[in-house]
Amino acid sequence: FEMEDNFKRRILILWTSGEKETALNMVFMYGLNSKLKGWWDEVTLLVWGASTKLLGTDPEIQERLKALQDAGVETIACKACANNLGLVEKLESLDVQVFFTGEYLSKRIQAGDHVLSV
């Protein structure tokens, strides 16, 4: 399968699942390979909902996040979710940009960016 030259090569992975198996076997696997193999030029992981708690409390998930970041994947998180769970400082210590993301997500969708919701 070949992509057209003018294909928009930017993806936002909207990670909302709190299931560890989904994180390990989809979110991090696809996110990392997308960047390393050049499937997308820009890859952003947006942590929102139940994934916030999983990321903030699971050391293995935190290690996988670091691998994504080291590969050049931008990592951001919903501040409202992090506030509700008391995890703002923890996520920031993991080098995740934490801010209110509702408008950000809306603008990315309105701009026609590709969004993969997991």
- Give Cα separations from 97 to 4, 39, 40, 92 (angstroms): 32, 24, 21, 6
Q: Identify the bridge partners of residue 97 per DSSP, sorted by sequence position.
A: 76
User: Is residue 6 over pLDDT 70?
Assistant: no
Cβ neighbours, 10 Å, residue 112: 9
Q: What's the pLDDT score for residue 26?
A: 97
Q: What's the pLDDT score for residue 116?
A: 97
Q: What's the pLDDT score for residue 7?
A: 56
Q: Can you spell out the DSSP letters for 5-26?
A: TTS--EEEEEE----HHHIIII
Mean pLDDT on 16-21? 97
Query: Are 15 and 46 contacting, i.e. CB atoms less than 8 angstroms apart?
Result: yes
pTM: 0.92
Q: How confident is the model at residue 1 (pLDDT cuts 50, 70, 90)?
A: very low
Tell me: the pLDDT tens digits for 55-71?
Answer: 999 999 999 999 999 99
Mean pLDDT on 78-100? 98
